[in-house]
A and B are shown apart, each in its own frame.
Chain A
Amino acid sequence: MTSINVNGKVHDLGDVPDDTPLLWVLRDQLGLTGTKYGCGIAECGICTVHLDGVAVQSCITQLSEVGDSKVTTIEGLSEDGSHPVQKAWKEHGVPQCGYCQVGQMMMAAAMLESNHDPSDDDIDSEMWNICRCGTYPRIRAAIKTAAKEMQTR
């Protein structure tokens, strides 16, 4: 029987085939629908979660690759929406439809853990997520706001 650790909780997955992408395990087996589907081929970044703190695309991460790693999803990024990126996203009014924003925030949060002062070029290269509503200028601004808060932590 396969089990995974998501947001600090271990879940037994019964006989879910271990080549199932983590995305669909999260959404359909565990009911964690905060992580979204956009392309299934690691092109849009919308399904981004953290695996031991590193941003990965859950649509191409098979269950077998997760092993004992700790998975963090948006539901576990903070308890109450108080992660600096979440606060900055609100301050800058980033979301339009909001659908891509979970992936955007998970990507940004992972980047900011390792890079507390991302330059515009860093943001350009690290934040390759698609936002069909076109919120990029606000995401850029929000990342800079969140970075400031993370620097003082």
Chain B
Amino acid sequence: MNAPSKTRNGISRRGFLAAASAGSLVLMAKVTDGQDVVVVGATKANLESFDPDLFVSIAPDGVVSILAHRSEMGTGIRTSLPRIVADELEADWARVEIVQAIGDKRLGDQNTDGSNSIRFFFDRMRIAGATARTMLERAAAQQWDVAADQCHGDNHRVVHSGSDRAIGYGELVSIAKTLDVPAADELKLKPASKFRYIGKDAPITDMDAILTGKAIYGIDARMENQLYAVIARPPVVGAAVKSYDAADAMEIPGVVDVVEIPKFDGAPLFQPLGGIAVCAQSTWAAWQGRDAIDIEWEEGPNANYDTDQFAKTLAESANRPGKAVRNHGDVGKVIAESDNVHRADYTVPHLSHAPMETPCAVADVKTEGDKVVSCVVTAATQNPQAVQQAVGPAMGMKPEDVIVNVTLLGSGFGRKSKPDYCVEAAMLSRKLGRPVHVTWTREDDIHNDYFHTMSHLHLEAAVDEKGKPTAWLARAAYPTIGSTFNPSAKEPAGFEVEMGLTDCPYQIPNLRVEVGQAVAHTRIGWLRSVAHIQQNFAVGSFADELAHRADRDPYEYLLELLGEDRHLDLEAAGLSNRGASATDYPYDIGRLKAVTRRVAERADWQRGKDLPKGRGLGIACCRAFLGYTAHVIEVDISKDGKLRIPKVWVSLDAGLIVSPDRVRAQVEGAAVMATTQARYGKITFKNGRAQQSNYDDYPMVTMSDAPREIIVDLVDSQAAPAGVGETTVPSFAPALCNAIFAATGKRIRDLPLRDHDLSWS
């Protein structure tokens, strides 16, 4: 393989190691079985033979470099993880440099998705920092000829407790790098009371670059001599090019070449959709060229996809007995024998991620004859290892030989963990023999997303004389994300129903969850908070319906539904708990009730009763991504049905929090995104084609229709860190619709809101 080229916004594998090794202390820790961290070696001759995981290097001038191996898409993770390292290292944050990692499986999981980054890496980052500090302390002990336990890292120096001696980290590098790396059990981690960065705020590391326009996103990535490509993709998923005429496109000034990209075979996976690419000297020329191509398509079986029809199919599927995926007690019998059964159906349409920055990537593929000898991709990606795995086979290379540089992401929400656009760039570069940058237009993005699924939920409950459910049935029908990987997957998967249905927190003696069949006719993907979107909407609304049916206060009723403080028996319920242990991450109903109480208190829930018609409060809670959250939302609806959301209160217990201000920002942003989805989110299909194409027909809330004030309450906790980014999306929509009911008496069971007349008299 040729030496990888260094790109403007990334750093090649060899480049970083070589630079770091020159006279520096470099620590590398290895992940065994994806779990424990074992530090395997300090700088020695052959760095390539090590498996670097958590990567710290200290240069003789004292600059500490910390590798950020997760993607920055707005959560602040590129700052938060390095700050954990710096904290244990006792480094001066001002002298820390953050280096974005390339895709490399030796770094452990890089899929910045599923609200996992802090949960997966909190301990490992601490160990990396503590390891480096311990070595520096030992180096100082050696230099001063004193006991190591009298030497302590302190603000980028080691100080001696028996005297007033102190020595800078940089000066200790030459000794430290000759020392053995301490074993994990030789490390002393700080007590939480001594944290100096964890739990404290700092501006994100990219702040100044963002504010001055210097920050580089995927759309800004440039390689020397690159062409710009815009692609005409099939109007229907699975369609193939029958014939095309590129004569007009080639006439457009700046257009260099027109290239066909083959349609994918089998499951969509992360393969390109196929189509005709126009490569040009500028994005605009490529775009105009693309629009000038005349293409005839072989449309294939998905050309009949029509969401109006499909809604009926889903409703039927959700209204007949399905496959039980959770069952205790005898729901069928209790409901059959009850004379008080409440039933409701809820629907949520397809949604598109519509990340602010469309999918974009640039690739440079070098060939010798037919053989690809090197491939460098620079992209806005949530998962550079998925890029390697998708691009590698397409180039006939081993995935690990594909160099993937990660830019900043202009948001992602799950779209950018699916690297079809990176494969497109690589295919085009290979064909043209020079770097090619692919930009998706907004229309491309909305037409060709990995859509959030379209769903129908059917709920039933038998209630006793006090209005409390004795039996609860939830039945879900929606195309599964699994269909993107295996076309024969036809019903919601376990991980999907565990987002709000099988993990139901309510204490009900008879509980059953069923799934119905639903065939996918487009690419289904995961969007921030995934199946929680439809499932918590249904479950959170249904609880409110039951409360009103029983003429009870929805908040008090909700607390009663949650029942006793207890830990759910995960095993008995067949829950995977996102792979987390029940010891570190129990499903703790007490914590869920606590956030529910907190949010009600902060919102002064009781005053809801006294609000005039048109105004109302709604409440909902959930556990999602291992965190606990509850919302109270206040709505103000004019007589003619205009909805305003003056205030939102959110309480969140996500365990220990590293960057409180970033967590607040995530919670605020989740409320805004959930508002967009609830108010406007709807993608429809006719003749297999997505009917929406841009922000005019797939609108987003803006300043004027977003919640005016979002009041975030974070629980101060030392519990194991849980997810944040997605956690506070799910309970928003039900709380909002419950508030609308309180204000107007109108029950919304079918999103989005803009399909409903909210006027009242």
A residues touching B (Cβ–Cβ < 8 Å)?
Answer: 15, 17, 20-21, 24, 27-29, 31-41, 43-44, 46, 73-75, 78, 80-81, 86, 89-90, 93, 95-102, 105, 120, 123-125, 127-140
Q: A74-B212, A96-B669, A137-B668 are in contact. Are A28 and B74 (CB under 8 A)?
A: no
Cβ–Cβ contact B665 & A96, under 8 A: yes
Q: How far is it, in angstroms, between the C-alpha of A99 and the C-alpha of B634 when the chains are bound? A: 30
Q: How far is it, in angstroms, between the C-alpha of A98 and the C-alpha of B211 when the chains are bound? A: 8
Quick check: is B519 within 8 A (CB to CB) of the other chain?
no
Cβ–Cβ contact B702 & A129, under 8 A: yes
Chosen A-B contacts, 27 in total, with CB atoms closer than 8 Å, are A15-B253, A24-B282, A34-B214, A36-B219, A36-B357, A40-B441, A41-B442, A41-B695, A75-B212, A81-B208, A81-B211, A86-B212, A96-B74, A96-B665, A98-B210, A101-B211, A124-B704, A130-B695, A133-B672, A134-B672, A134-B673, A135-B665, A135-B668, A136-B702, A137-B707, A139-B703, A140-B703
B residues touching A (Cβ–Cβ < 8 Å)?
Answer: 72-76, 201, 203-204, 206-208, 210-217, 219-220, 222, 228, 253, 281-284, 354-358, 408-413, 439, 441-442, 661-662, 665-666, 668-673, 694-696, 700-704, 706-710
Most buried by B among A21, A78, A96, A134: A134
User: Which of chain B's residues have a CB closer than 8 A to the CB of A33?
Assistant: 213, 216, 219-220, 222
Q: A90-B207, A140-B703 are in contact. Are A132 and B668 (CB under 8 A)?
A: no
Partner of A43, one of B669, B694, B710: B694
Q: A40-B442, A99-B410, A123-B703 are in contact. Are A138 and B695 (CB under 8 A)?
A: no
Q: How far is it, in angstroms, between the C-alpha of A131 and the C-alpha of B442 when the chains are bound? A: 15
Q: How far is it, in angstroms, between the C-alpha of A98 and the C-alpha of B266 when the chains are bound? A: 37
User: Which of chain B's residues have a CB closer than 8 A to the CB of A133?
Assistant: 74, 356, 411, 665, 669, 672-673
* A31 closest partner in B (C-beta): B222
Partner of B356, one of A24, A32, A46, A73: A46
For the complex of A and B, the 10 pairs showing the least CB-CB separation, nearest first, are A34-B213, A134-B672, A99-B410, A97-B74, A74-B213, A96-B74, A98-B210, A134-B669, A24-B284, A124-B704
Cβ–Cβ contact B709 & A137, under 8 A: yes
Cβ–Cβ contact B210 & A101, under 8 A: yes
Most buried by A among B281, B694, B703: B703
CB distance from B411 to the nearest CB of A (A): 4
Partner of A132, one of B253, B439, B441, B700: B700
Cβ–Cβ contact A43 & B703, under 8 A: no
* A140 closest partner in B (C-beta): B703
User: Which of chain A's residues have a CB closer than 8 A to the CB of B76?
Assistant: 96
Interface of B, secondary structure class, is loop
User: Which of chain B's residues have a CB closer than 8 A to the CB of A75?
Assistant: 212-213
Q: How far is it, in angstroms, between the C-alpha of A32 and the C-alpha of B220 when the chains are bound? A: 9
Partner of B211, one of A29, A43, A89: A89
User: Which of chain A's residues have a CB closer than 8 A to the CB of B355?
Assistant: 132
Cβ–Cβ contact A138 & B665, under 8 A: yes
Q: A97-B410, A134-B673, A137-B709 are in contact. Are A39 and B211 (CB under 8 A)?
A: no
Q: How far is it, in angstroms, between the C-alpha of A12 and the C-alpha of B174 when the chains are bound? A: 53
Cβ–Cβ contact A95 & B702, under 8 A: no
Partner of B694, one of A39, A78, A93: A39
User: Which of chain A's residues have a CB closer than 8 A to the CB of B356?
Assistant: 38, 44, 46, 97, 99-100, 130-133
Cβ–Cβ contact B695 & A39, under 8 A: yes
Additional A-B contacts beyond A99-B410, A102-B210, A134-B670 (12; CB < 8 A): A28-B228, A28-B282, A28-B284, A29-B282, A39-B695, A40-B441, A43-B695, A95-B207, A96-B665, A97-B357, A134-B669, A137-B709
User: Which of chain A's residues have a CB closer than 8 A to the CB of B708?
Assistant: 120, 137
